[in-house]
Every structure is written in C-alpha cells, then in structure tokens.
C-alpha cells in the first residue's frame, strides 16, 4: 500500500504492486483457499504448490535413478 508522506509516495509494506488479470475460475480457486485476505490466500496457495511440485520432482528423480536396476535383460 502506498502512502503520501512529505510530498512523496512511499510503499509502507516494502512489497511490489503489480496489476494482473485473472480468469474467473482462477480467482474462485484463490478466494476459496485458506487465509485471512487475498494476499495471504495467494501466498499459501503458491507455497503449497511449490512444495507439492518439489515432492513430485524428487519422486520422479528417484524413479529415474532406479530405472535400469528394475529391468531384466534376456
């Protein structure tokens, strides 16, 4: 949020503000997520997605590492 202080606009929460357009379905998912406000809901959603994605990547890397050991050659 910006404030007008001493003739200058300052950003009191030190965050970057951007304008984005969201599909209605995307907005519905974000608004339905856990959190007190939109920013917290979006932050929680992104955090959980990143954690889930990282677990998926680790799982896939584990499958690659053992792939040749599970094959039998005739």
Show Cβ contacts of residue 41 under 8 Å, excluding neighbours closer than 6 positions: 30, 31, 33, 34, 35
Q: What is the DSSP string of 14-25?
A: ----------HH
Alpha-helix runs per DSSP H in 1-74: 24-31, 38-65
pTM recorded for the entire structure: 0.58
pLDDT tens, the chain, 74 aa long: 556 667 776 666 666 677 889 999 999 999 999 999 998 999 999 999 999 999 998 888 887 765 555 555 54
């Amino acid at each position: 949020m910006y404030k007008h202080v001493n003739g200058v606009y300052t950003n009191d929460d030190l965050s970057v503000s951007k304008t984005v357009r969201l599909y209605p379905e995307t907005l519905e998912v974000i608004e339905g997520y856990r959190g007190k406000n939109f920013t917290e809901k979006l932050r929680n959603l992104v955090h959980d997605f990143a954690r889930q994605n990282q677990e998926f990547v680790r799982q896939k890397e584990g499958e690659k590492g053992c792939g040749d050991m599970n094959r039998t050659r005739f």
